[in-house]
Structure 1
Amino acid sequence: MEFILTLLLILLSTKLVGDLAVRLGQPAVLGKLIVGIVLGPAVLGWIRDGEFIHFMSEIGLLLLMFIAGLETDLDQLRRSWKSSIAVAVGGIILPLFGGMGIAELFGFSYMHALFLGAILSATSVSISAQVLKDMNKLNSREGSTILGAAVVDDILVVIMLAVLMSLFGEGESISLGLLIGKKLLFFAVALLAGWLIVPRMLKWLAPLKVTEATVSIALVICFAYSWFAEWTGMAGIIGAFAAGIAVSQTNYKHNVQEKLEPIAYAMFVPVFFVSIGLNVSFEGVGGQIGFVVALSIVAVLSKLLGGALGARLTGFNNHSSI
């Protein structure tokens, strides 16, 4: 019965600390991440990562991105595609060279410096989506650009890491053509399914004489997209996001959103954000304070300036770019 106590602690603490974060002018997600750090092994040790947390958080992550897709203005996303690519590229190049520079400064080998730079280039799509949602900016021009850039960034960095692993790793060599081909296959199938299959599937199965058939079918679509994304080498969250966009183009969007949000945000999503904090460890940090501080400054500034430069070059004013 330990998992019940774990769930009790997570749900109560995330709501209380999330509320405090909002009152202090911060997104609620920040409070949830801090809860994971404080209650996890890094500080109090009351909650430990395990199979239960893992599966709950995986579902929470997929539901979070599915709902983000449901709420995304597809027309705004289409209009922002050039800016999204520019912001993604800027948010990759500057952190890549910034991370490599810091690594070289602190005596890393060239290979390790490359990997550190590549890691700094990555963007958390889920955190970006939740922060924008908390700020009610998900469908703003800036929000659509950030979310689109996060998706593009995720794809490009995965390819970059695969290339680095092929060059410097000890595993089998990776076919770059196959890697890119599978990602293109995902987008082709996702678009085709969103156009031909998803609307028909909801139309045929939503009227079933069972409880909450519409929401259940929407979840089937979400998990099918996520599985296919993973199979093609994409992140499952990209699949869930694409599924949300596909469902948002049907007449069932509001019904699914209205019924699914309470399930996701009452239980699964809080567990996901806490699980991130559970992976934090302060072991060995004391002896590397200089490196941690320097890397943190470079990580923030390079991502900020890289993204802002990409936005500025594609028509955003200075304030919106920042």
Structure 2
Amino acid sequence: MVRWIAGRVLSSAVTLLGIALLIFVAVRLMPGGYADVILGPLASEQQRAEVSARYGLDKPVFLQFFLWLGALLGGDLGISMVTQAPIADELALRLPVTGLLAAMSLTATLLAGVPLGVLSALRGGEGRGGTAGRLVSALGISLPEFVLGSAVIYLFSRFALGLRVGGFASGTGGFGATFQALLLPALVLSVFSVAATARTTRDAVLGVLVEPHIAAAVGRGEPPWHIVRHHVLRNVGIPILTLLGSIVAYLLGGAVIVESLFNVSGLGSYMISGLGRRDFGVVQATVLLTAAAFIVVSLLTELASGWLDPRVSTTRKAAR
């Protein structure tokens, strides 16, 4: 297990290095640069050259990358070219907001997606309940966040439906006000993940229900909900955990759109602002932080899978 964890940490470090290189090159391949955005189209070449030299953008790209990577390894995320403020300080203010938004969406996913999937599977997918469940799941998976979010903003702004749109102010009003302001964005963000979790749970439960040990439990006369709790849910934990690792990545990525729609000051809106202003350091740091969070969650998911099902750990040992 120690060797496996060490190998995963090493592969994660290599993955982060690759992501750092890709995002560093990608932001510099976008049309226009920081000097073009700040100075506008009427600026002279001398003015553009002065701005590029001030921020080191006139150096070769590979040299810029190694300088940024060296500072990153030393714990320095750099300075925003637009605000002249340390990027680490801004991330420290915005990370709890995006983390709370993702945690609320993940909680809604577990509380709604898993029970819906179990109930749909126990009904066998037959009747109006099963058909409605499949239709709702398909609609939730196929509906983009910006379409759903725009519709929700219109409805809750036009009619008094109990939840307030907007009004988010980071660091003011306490946890209760922050939770209330993030509730609607979190629900919008969780629609896809609830639908995907419900469908995955349904398929997993249907696969477990045909196993011989379920037939043996029925033959022993065990109550139906006792069979579900002790035999079915325990065996569907692995596919649900595997899916949740991907859902966390989706939630972090979907937060970019949802935070922009609902004007939430999180990592997503910070990255969008950096992209629009060609603030390279902001985009690089935000993407790298999000990728690191996803890698950590994936590692924890694999460890939890081995704890829930010892066969997973045995398979890893056999592979080594």
Q: Which has the higher contact order (CA 8 A, sep 6+)?
A: 1
- Tell me if both proteins adopt one fold, taking TM over 0.5 as the criterion: no
TM class by smaller structure: under 0.3
Q: TM-score, normalised on structure 1?
A: 0.26
Q: TM-score, normalised on structure 2?
A: 0.26
